[in-house]
Copies of this chain bind each other. A is one copy, B any other.
Amino acid sequence: MIDHELQATTEPGRRFVAMAEEHAKDFATRADQHDREASFPFENIKALQESGFLAAMIPEEFGGLGVESRLDQMIGMSRLARGCASSAIAANMHIAATGVMSRMWRWREGQPPQITSAVEALMRAIGARQLITCAPGTEAGTDLQSPMTEGVPDGDHYIVNGRKMFGTLSPAAQLMFVTFRIPDGDGYQSSMGIIPSGAPGVTNKNNWDAMGMRASGSHDIVFENVRIPAASVLPPRPWGVFDGSGADMGVALNGSLVACFLGIAEAARNLAIEMTGRRKGPKGMRLADRAPIQQLIAEIEVELMAGRAVVERAGRISDEYFDQYRLGEAPNDVSFALMKEQQCMKWTLQRNAISIVDKAMTATGGSAYMNGSPFSRLYRDVRAGPFMQPFAPYEALEFIGKFTLGLDPAPDR
């Protein structure tokens, strides 16, 4: 069967995708074991670093692959996720951040020089395969715009206290990008600082124990009186406000994360095709030869085609946007329109991916329910999708609906 899978649109993108396929093949051999043990795949992350995969978005001049297309980034991440979704979302935590860095570098004209040089330093280290970063942003009971983690100025330093969840990739990261609020009169401002994982007061709770994505190392991180220089803190922005600049950052950071779930769907579908072509019933008939199985496989294909299509479309629109605007500088409506496309993509893709895994299990039969089957992992991994930031599915609808109707799209939460 000829399969029109997603194709990268640039030369660096094609190299990135090819590397993803190689790594995926390797990771697949260990995915079930890491899932079973909830162990962090240090060897996978190391392999990604050594091959240059983790530096894919870094300009070639700094040692990276120079991937600029966000669509290509999404496609590559989806390919990697076919082998091990946990490893893919872990890698994405770092790669998405490097995508932001290289954008800041490309648009450095007019940017405060200390930011530019900080970005350059990070990119050099990453390009030299010496640095891995993560960005634990989520906290319990609040949203991304309203961190409760607090940074209090203390001379030319900040003292940071708080707790982050879902610190994906944290076991392997040397640096963390941490959002916090800064008390300001009766209210707060919001900012982000760079905190070394080994800084005094930082504790990785090593407590990730979820239903799926078990090898992603998404631990809680606790900050107790962590002291960081003001120079490594971004200029403050309003706290608790969802505006266009939050929207495009959300797209920048989460587009390729969402795309990983396409890879899960493709893995499930490929398994289903392979198994139904092999397994036989009591009278020797292959599953693939049974008409109802053919209908089921077709429904999978229909959903997969739509999943690929929305990734392609959202990725292309995202590429057009970021070719035109510096991060955070587009008019609100333009950023919101971009975010809307991404949320529509996420909705369709996650729903279809979940359905594809479900139907693939149905097609192959009861063995799919066993922990010895990769389907068990895929079924649990794929359900992480709808929880991905910045919006729960019902919030996504709220955002999309309000924006479409010309209202302030910030969810009422």
Contact = CB atoms under 8 A, between A and B. Distances in A.
Interface of A: 1-4, 138, 140-143, 145-146, 165-166, 209-212, 240, 273, 276-277, 279-283, 285, 288-299, 301-302, 305-306, 308-310, 312-314, 317, 333-334, 336-337, 340-341, 344-345, 347-348, 354, 358, 361-363, 365-367, 369-372, 376, 379-380, 383-384, 386-387, 392-407, 411-413
Contacts of A240: 282-283
Given A4-B337, A294-B398, A404 B273 contact: yes
Contacts of A406: 1, 277, 288
A402 B366 CA distance: 23
Contact of A298 (B212, B294, B400): B400
Contact of A383 (B285, B367, B369): B369
A295 B298 contact: no
A371 B306 CA distance: 32
A371 B313 contact: no
Given A310-B309, A341-B4, A138 B405 contact: no
A298 B397 contact: yes
Contacts of A299: 397
Given A209-B372, A405-B297, A280 B141 contact: yes
Contact of A337 (B1, B365, B387): B1
A211 B404 contact: no
A367 to B, nearest CB: 8
Nearest to A6: B313
Given A295-B295, A341-B4, A386-B362, A211 B397 contact: no
Given A2-B337, A394-B363, A302 B400 contact: yes
B282 A141 contact: yes
A354 to B, nearest CB: 8
A411 B333 CA distance: 31
Given A282-B141, A386-B362, A344 B402 contact: no
Given A297-B401, A301-B400, 15 more contacts: A2-B334, A141-B281, A210-B371, A285-B413, A291-B412, A292-B397, A292-B398, A294-B401, A295-B398, A298-B399, A298-B401, A301-B404, A306-B306, A308-B313, A379-B380
Question: Shortest 8 CB-CB distances between A and B: which pairs?
Answer: A294-B401, A291-B291, A305-B344, A298-B401, A292-B394, A309-B309, A2-B337, A298-B397
B305 A371 contact: no
Contacts of A371: 209-211
A209 B32 CA distance: 14
A394 B295 contact: yes
Contacts of A314: 309
Contact of A302 (B140, B211, B348): B348
Interface centre among A140, A141, A165, A277 (most CB of B within 10 A): A141
Contact of A211 (B354, B369, B400, B412): B369
A197 to B, nearest CB: 23
A90 B347 CA distance: 35
A242 B370 CA distance: 27
Given A397-B294, A413-B290, A392 B380 contact: no
A284 to B, nearest CB: 10
Nearest to A384: B369
Contacts of A211: 369-371, 376, 379-380
B344 A292 contact: no
A401 B294 CA distance: 4
Nearest to A166: B366
A396 B2 contact: no
